[in-house]
Structure 1
Amino acid sequence: MPPVQTVLTTVLTEKFEVSPESVLPGATLESLDLDSLALAELALALQEELGVKVEEHEAAKRTTISELVAVLHSKRTEQDAL
């Protein structure tokens, strides 16, 4: 299974046309020009790719890449433990 960071970067660059250089740990989703609709689409895409539920507040405008990776990694680890 690919690392969460890789999946997130791939989804952002392929589905939302974000440049890979912009996907930095401290970048917020808002700074990547993702609006509310794009955030909802991102949550669904990540859910499909990673197999974990992504709550709306976890992928919000002020969420940073590193925060999102940490949350998703934790959820995936929990799920794998079940």
Structure 2
Amino acid sequence: MSPAQTAVTAVLTQKFEVSPESIRPEATLESLDLDSLALAELALALQEELGVPVEEDEAAKHSTVGELVAALNAKRA
């Protein structure tokens, strides 16, 4: 698991109480019951966790977990 994937999984399970088995690459953030406020909190938490800027459009309702992880991995590279 990449550091970005680990961070996304940790934040979603600990801060938003998403079940680990529902965090799949193809799952959209909306399907994980994250509303717009939660998405803003997710972006901020990931920014703090990974030390890279996370734009709100990268953590948008239509984004999948896989797309978010890929964007974060690219920023860390």
Q: TM-score range by the shorter chain?
A: over 0.9
Give the match for residue 34 of structure 2: 34
Q: TM-score, with normalisation over the residues of structure 2?
A: 0.96
Instruction: Report percent identity of matched pairs.
Output: 75
Give the match for residue 52 of structure 1: 52
**Which 5+ residue runs of structure 2 have no aligned equivalent?**
none
Q: Distance in 2 between matches of 1:48 and 1:21?
A: 24
Q: Distance in 2 between matches of 1:59 and 1:43?
A: 6
Query: How many corresponding residue pairs?
Result: 76
Stretches (4+) displaced over 3 A:
none
Give the match for residue 19 of structure 1: 19
Q: Mapping of 1:54-69 within 5 angstroms? A: 54-69=54-69
Larger Rg belongs to:
1
* SS in structure 2 at match of 1:54: coil
Amino acid at match of 2:52: V
Amino acid at match of 2:50: L
Q: Distance in 2 between matches of 1:59 and 1:39?
A: 6
Superposed CA deviations along residues 32-72 of structure 1, whole A, max 9, x for unmatched, are 00000000000000000000000011000000000000000
Give the match for residue 6 of structure 2: 6
